[in-house]
Amino acid sequence: MAKAKTKFSCQECGYESAKWLGKCPACESWNSFVEEMETVVKTQGMNAPHMKTQEKAISIINIESAQDPRILTKNSELNRVLGGGLVPGSLILVGGDPGIGKSTLLLQTSHALTENGLKVLYISGEESARQTKLRADRLGAMSPNLFVLCETNLDHIIEAIDQLNPDFIVMDSIQTVYHPAVASAPGSVSQVRECTSHFMRIAKIKGIATVLVGHVTKEGAIAGPRLLEHMVDCVLYFEGERHHSYRLLRAVKNRFGSTNEIGIFEMLESGLVEVSNPSELFLSERPMGVAGSTVVASMEGTRPVLVELQALISATNFPTPRRMSTGVDHNRLSLIIAVLEKRIGLFLQNQDAYLNVAGGVKLDEPAVDLAAAVSIASSFRDHPTQPYDVIFGEIGLTGEVRGVSRIDQRVKEAQKLGFKRVIMPEKSLKGWTPPKGIQIIGVNTVSEALSAALQ
């Protein structure tokens, strides 16, 4: 016999409690507990028939290695983020702010797959069929192999999948689907977990590549329990400012590829268009001859990207100066300022420091340290850097400049965009021949880099 009981679940992280709590002890969010009904079924012990497994353990050397061919989406940016294309039977979770372009990207991808002869099922739980048709008309995504289903009942969705037997499924969004056997409301932790597990079984058993669209919280994380990200094979975040035209697609989890790749798109009236040269896009509005502006060569996966670093140093009347950074780790900024004060002698204790990565890109590799230090020193001394310099390198606590990887790709990208000099760690020059037409300056300390950049 099944016995129903009440539990309280946090809608942010999935923490469960027997009573209502004002603040979640796991994620520390307020007023996030919702009452849910839980069904407990008593079993007959470990020897019950449904507890016995049908699979037998075999040696790993006896398992056949079979790699399914990937499905190309005719979008090189999306293929790069996915690791080379869609993997049949994979479950992909796509998250992003409302109105950022998730549905536009997936509808364009669905249309591109239908041109390859695949059958696509686009399930919409938030829009009607007419609304989806209006978007498809605007994007030019009209194909007889693209089927649209507006349904939120999981049983009806599974029945439609069995009848159609598609090659690719899009569920927009997972928070709108509900299972009739679960008493919770759609979007709750129990519903999201149960519905995702059903889609996972469909993807693995039938070999259908499935994409789930997930809502995000005010902090930018995908709504629902963290278990949701553990169940899927790939987690993609669609980032960007709604007031800007470009978008970033970043992989934070990928079982079939790298998690360092990013895809860059531009939002136009006809939909999302891939950007083949992101460095030129990020440097298009760069001012010339302004103090505090430098260009850094950063690696995003296997792609070199040139972006502009801007620093502003201004005097403050408060006893504690502000340290603010956008696109760079705040703790990294404090470390660089401490090195400049101790090793270079810059008096920044009574100065507010602001560091910004132009274009909204997030840089998390240590190779941007040297460019950030040069930007801060340039703004503090009110001395502009050379407009055709590219700077990169890691800074140590003793003021030394450490080597970084993928030197040849960074320098070739700078040469392609017309830069004349590259200031980089001297330790990275070993075993590598610089190309002709660009000057390479190797430095060992931060002091040498400042002397070369602010001459």
The length of the chain is: 455
100 assigned binding-site residue = yes
186 assigned binding-site residue = no
99 assigned binding-site residue = yes
Residues forming beta bridges with residue 246, ordered by sequence position: 266
Q: Please name the residue that has the structure tokens 């997936």.
A: 106
Residue 174, token pair as written in the block: 């997972």
Give the C-alpha separation, 89 to 114, whole Å. 17
Q: Kindly give, in sequence order, each residue whose CB lies less than 8 Å from that of residue 440, ignoring residues fewer than 6 positions away.
A: 411, 421, 422, 424, 429, 434
Q: Residue 103: left if φ>0, alpha if ψ -120 to 50, beta else—which one?
A: alpha
Q: Please name the residue that has the structure tokens 């700078």.
A: 414
Buried b (16+ CB within 10 A) or exposed e, 409-423: ebbebbbebebebbb
| 145: amino acid identity, one letter | N
CB contact at 8 A, 39 and 4 = yes
Give the C-alpha separation, 35 to 55, whole Å. 38
Q: Kindly give, in sequence order, each residue whose CB lies less than 8 Å from that of residue 45, ignoring residues fewer than 6 positions away.
A: 51
Alpha helix (H) residue ranges in 304-442:
330-339, 369-381, 407-416
Cβ neighbours, 10 Å, residue 230: 9
CB contact at 8 A, 282 and 361 = yes
Which regions of 145-260 does DSSP assign to beta strands (E)? 146-150, 168-172, 209-214, 234-239, 246-254
* Cβ neighbourhood burial of 160 (10 Å; 0-12, 13-18, 19+): middle
* Cβ neighbourhood burial of 388 (10 Å; 0-12, 13-18, 19+): middle
103 assigned binding-site residue = yes
Alpha helix (H) residue ranges in 207-296:
227-231, 278-282
101 assigned binding-site residue = yes
- φ, ψ (nearest 5 deg) of residue 129: -65, -35
Binding-site residues for ATP sit at 96-103
Binding-site residues sit at 96-103
